[in-house]
Amino acid sequence: MQAVMYDHFGDASVLSVREVAVPQAARGQVQVRVRMASLNPVDFKLRSGILRLLGRPKRPAITGKDFAGDITALGAEVQGYRVGQRVFGSVDPLGGQGSCAQFVALATDLIAPAPDALSDEVAASLPVASGTALQSLTDIAGLRHGQSILITGASGAVGASAVQLARSIGARITGVCGTANIDYVRSIGAEHVIDYNTANWQQSDERYDVIFDAAAAASFSAAKPRLTPNGIYINTMPRPALYWAAVVARATSRQRCVPFLLKTDAALLQRLAKLAAERVIVPRIHEIIDFAQVASAQRRMQEGKVHGKVCVRVDV
């Protein structure tokens, strides 16, 4: 099969399309023929080695995590799925497997049925970006109706999902984005929008119950004055300083600092499928590309030139 791969850490130039053996479904796994993959910042962070402290993918590695496709084979002891069924999910990239490939093989806890109402590109866009928003706002922050939330990177895939989820909860939303995306962020539910080109939310007088730093643009020390006494700050880019800040906050105040790490499972994917089918979450598809364009797309993502999801059409 064809896949987009890299042998060593580096910039987007280390990616190439090559032939590799088709992965087979082991016990408790399914083999999926990928129809659509989607790209996330975690893909280029793993490829570049930025996240090597959290884990190093076995190389040669296939890039990408999220996908939608059809089951082509069942491993032993798999129940509840059938060959030909549409599913979506997210691979564990540390074993070297990735979604920018014609086939993947993975455990059933990393997939869920794709509702008929969802296109392949929408289903493939959900796991990492919308999953990060859902776990952060509901499972960690416990965001409630009437609470205030500030969301950085509000026009990106994670931030936009967070805005839409917060709207469905009934929170009071302030979104932070660039000038070109102000109207979009308002249209998906933000009551107030801060243009980071002309204003700095860290210097405002407002306080928020939740600060969801989807852009990983701040630190807990910078966000702390903008939190309510029981407020929570969630940063989507874990690093040692954040873990230390979390320990200090827990010991010295009622405010919380959370370095976020996504925990994907079938239950989370099923929740996302329901929210997307009900159009609570509507991913913004930036473009659909093919394998040959993955390297350039990752480069543009790393430069901050992509707002929304880049999907990868997979042909056999």
What is the rounded CA–CA span in Å between residue 167 and residue 192?
Answer: 12
What mean pLDDT comes out for the span 97-124? 98
What mean pLDDT comes out for the span 74-92? 97
pLDDT in tens, 236-284: 988 888 888 899 888 889 999 999 999 999 999 999 999 999 999 999 9
8 A C-beta contact, residue 62 and residue 20: yes
SS3 at position 17: strand
Report the predicted TM-score, pTM, of the whole model to 2 decimal places.
0.96
* Residue 230 CA: distances (Å) to CA of 7, 161, 181, 210, 291: 46, 24, 31, 9, 46
Domain architecture of the chain: domains with CATH? 2-114+284-313 (3.90.180.10), 130-259 (3.40.50.720)
12: confidence class by pLDDT, cuts 50, 70, 90: very high
Token pair of 34, please?
A: 């990928």
What mean pLDDT comes out for the span 34-61? 89
For the chain, what is the mean pLDDT? 95
Q: Judge whether residue 305 has pLDDT over 80.
A: yes
pLDDT of residue 136: 98
Cβ-Cβ contacts under 8 Å for 43 (sequence gap 6 or more): 63, 64, 65, 93, 98, 298
Peptide bond just before 23 cis, omega within 30 deg: no
pLDDT of residue 141: 98
Cβ-Cβ contacts under 8 Å for 122 (sequence gap 6 or more): 276, 282, 283, 285
Taking the mean position of all CA atoms in its chain, how far away is CA 245? 23
To which residue do tokens 């509507």 refer?
282
pLDDT of residue 251: 87
